Amino acid sequence: MLSVSKTVQEMSKDGDEPPQHYIVRDNTLFGPIDTSPPLAPIPVIDISLFLTSPSSLHSSLQEETELEKLRSALSSWGCFQAIGHGMSIEFLNKVRGVTEEFFAMPMEEKRKYSRAAGEIEGYGSDSVVSENQVLDWSDRLSLRIYPEDQRKLRLWPKQPQSFRETIDEYAMNIRSIMGIIFKAMAKSLKLEENSFSKQFGEEAIMQGRLILYPPCSKPNQVFGLKAHSDRSGVTILLQDKQVKGLQVFKDDKWLTVPIIPHALFLNLGDQMQIMSNGIFKSPMHRVVTNSEREKISVALFNEPEPEKEIGPVDDLVDDKRPRLYKNVKNYARFNYECFQKGLVALDTVKF
């Protein structure tokens, strides 16, 4: 089994060339690495229009228009840029700031929060699961955030001093936003508003991942994050406020996700594609590296309770649109098992 002794940040700082197990050897999957394709015209949606019951015909029409935009965005792109979420740009920059400060700390301080062998949570680089794996040029801190009683606080950094408070406040805000998004997604498909949220359950999981993408001397040969779709239900990403790198795959080509500093980038995962019976899409995406500038991001992955069975909402199955997916439990574990066998989890639960 290959081993990695240095973090990506250490290799980048030391001026090391990326080792062979970071080099993409097969460019046939979704084409070669293009570090600067065109910007994607990803829909921008004002979620404040979903917050309250319309008080007038005008506000009702505004909400209907935005719901239609949401349905169109999620069935075509599987993602959108969310504005009107109620968080100030100053607060979002504070979240970015504690992330940057954590990765800027001395290595001996960061190593206090190292991920244990075989574990998901903690600080480290890409997990090595196979000899032939191509590793991602990124370091990350992964934390279970909800349910709150499952937090491993020994892995939550004590420095910077405002880290815990800031990430906790941000996650609480995102959890409230998720409640709004779930209802809006259901309403956009003319479903009962709790159709999706009840499949996630009372003990739904929120997993946080703070990611650093250090500069890379071979951006045309190394990925910050390999092409994949998320196993989650819904992922909410706070992008770096300046450095691009996230790309989405649409209509057989890769496109760059624009940076809107005050927006949240929301993309669906496989489990929402299953629940929506294939109407909503779980988009393929990746992150390319940059030869000169580092980049950070903060991703919050929202998943159903592991033991809760999920499947297509009954009202989305009829003669015209038959059931496309089987019911499944613990999709995260199932997804990992498929990955180990070289299978695509979403394909294996199709009828």
pTM, two decimal places: 0.94
Residue 330 phi/psi, 5-degree rounding, is 45, 60
> How large a percentage of the chain has pLDDT more than 90?
81
| Residue 136 DSSP label | P
User: 56 falls in which pLDDT band (50, 70, 90)?
Assistant: low
Q: Give the mean model confidence (pLDDT) for residues 112-124.
A: 93
Q: Where are the domains of the chain?
A: 14-303
* Percent of the chain surpassing pLDDT 70: 94
| Average pLDDT along the chain | 93
How large is the average pLDDT for residues 10-39?
85
> In the numeric block, which tokens belong to residue 348?
């294996």
pLDDT at position 58 over 80: no
Task: Calculate the alpha carbon distances from 298 to 89, 98, 208, 212, 307 in Å.
Answer: 15, 11, 7, 9, 26
Over range 199-227, report the average pLDDT: 96
Question: Per-residue pLDDT for 51 more than 90?
Answer: no
What is the per-residue pLDDT for 1?
45
At the topology level of CATH, where does 14-303 sit?
A: Jelly Rolls (2.60.120)
Sign (positive or negative) of CA dihedral 266, 177, 298, 87: positive
pLDDT value of position 334 = 86
pLDDT digits (tens, 9 = 90+) for 304-339: 999 999 999 999 999 999 999 999 999 988 888 887
Distance in angstroms (rounded) separating the CA atoms of residues 184 and 186: 5
> What confidence tens digit (pLDDT) does each residue in 137-176 have?
999 999 999 999 999 999 999 999 999 999 999 999 999 9
pLDDT tier, 135 (very low <50, low <70, confident <90, very high otherwise): very high
Tell me the C-alpha to C-alpha distance, in Å, between residue 279 and each of 28, 72, 190, 255: 28, 10, 13, 22
Read off the pLDDT of each residue in 188-212 and give the average, rounded to a whole number: 97
What digits encode the pLDDT tens for the residues 246-303? Answer: 999 999 999 999 999 999 999 999 999 999 999 999 999 999 999 999 999 999 999 9
